[in-house]
């Protein structure tokens, strides 16, 4: 990877993506945002069938955007670069064609929760805290913390975290639907491996199509899903084969004959 703090290892058809900045609680700066987007492109072009996302250490899965990185930006740069680039990277994670498992091995706060919201399955270790503290700093949850998070967790929970400053334990998060499973501290990686193995036992194409359809149902990427599915049908049709043959042979196409 272009940034060693974003580590991507692909082996046995599993992509493992790790934030490696424990001294800063795995907070994300601009270079890490770029590396996350690059990692998504690499995963899509690999033989990976499932991806696992986690952070180094047990203190923090991700503390969100690095305050030192964004607080010094002028308003225009903050809006045009920081927010937009972050959206691009997080959207790419949420729209991976393979299932994404987030292992919350530490606290998921602010942008860390927004990062976790990109996943299809969230496994939290027992000591984890989850919340959206951004308005307490005078800023909004900017990487789809009010949009994707509301779609996936419900607007009521986002209001409780972002407007009223509530922070939830792993157990509370499980009961409220913020996470899908809670395991003992230190056991998140093993639980993710078991979940990934289940994905590998299922049809690659059917899994990809199902994820696309679920994303579309959530409003995650409806336009792209419709065009991708329609394109796949057209690409497998006899009409395409005839059209290409006619083009290469410089003759009129004979569709439906």
Catalytic (active-site) positions: 114, 134
Q: What is the 3-state secondary structure (H, E, C) of the chain?
A: CCCCCEEEEEECCEEEEEECCHHHCCCECHHHHHHHHHHHHHHHCCCCCEEEEEECCCCEEECCECHHHHHCCCHHHHHHHHHHHHHHHHHHHHCCCCCEEEEECCEEECHHHHHHCCCCEEEEECCCEEECCHHHHCCCCCCCCCCHHHHHHCHHHHHHHHHCCCCEEHHHHHHHCCCCEEECCCCHHHHHHHHHHHHHCCCHHHHHHHHHHHHHHCCCCHHHHHHHHHHHHHHCCHHHHHHHHHHHHCCCCCCCC
């Amino acid at each position: 990877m272009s940034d060693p703090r974003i580590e991507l290892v692909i082996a046995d058809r599993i992509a493992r993506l790790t934030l490696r900045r424990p001294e800063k609680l795995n907070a994300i700066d601009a270079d890490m945002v770029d590396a996350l987007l690059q990692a998504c492109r690499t995963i899509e072009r690999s033989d990976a069938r499932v991806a696992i996302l986690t952070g180094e250490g047990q203190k923090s899965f991700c503390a969100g955007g690095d305050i030192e990185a964004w607080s010094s930006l002028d308003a225009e740069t903050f809006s045009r670069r920081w927010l937009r680039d972050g959206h691009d990277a997080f959207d790419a994670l949420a729209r991976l064609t393979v299932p994404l498992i987030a292992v919350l091995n530490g606290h998921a706060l602010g942008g860390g929760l927004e990062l976790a919201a990109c996943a299809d399955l969230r496994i939290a270790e027992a000591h984890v805290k989850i919340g959206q503290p951004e308005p307490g700093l005078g800023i909004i949850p900017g990487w789809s913390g009010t949009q994707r998070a509301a779609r996936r967790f419900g607007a009521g929970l986002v209001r409780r975290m972002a407007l009223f400053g509530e922070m939830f334990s792993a157990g509370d998060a499980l009961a409220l639907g913020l996470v899908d499973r809670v395991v003992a501290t230190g056991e998140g990686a093993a639980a993710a491996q078991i979940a990934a193995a289940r994905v590998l036992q299922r049809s690659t194409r059917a899994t990809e199509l199902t994820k696309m359809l679920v994303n579309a149902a959530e409003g995650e990427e409806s336009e792209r899903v419709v065009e991708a599915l329609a394109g796949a049908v057209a690409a497998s049709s006899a009409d395409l084969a005839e059209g290409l043959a006619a083009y290469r042979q410089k003759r009129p196409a004979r569709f439906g004959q």
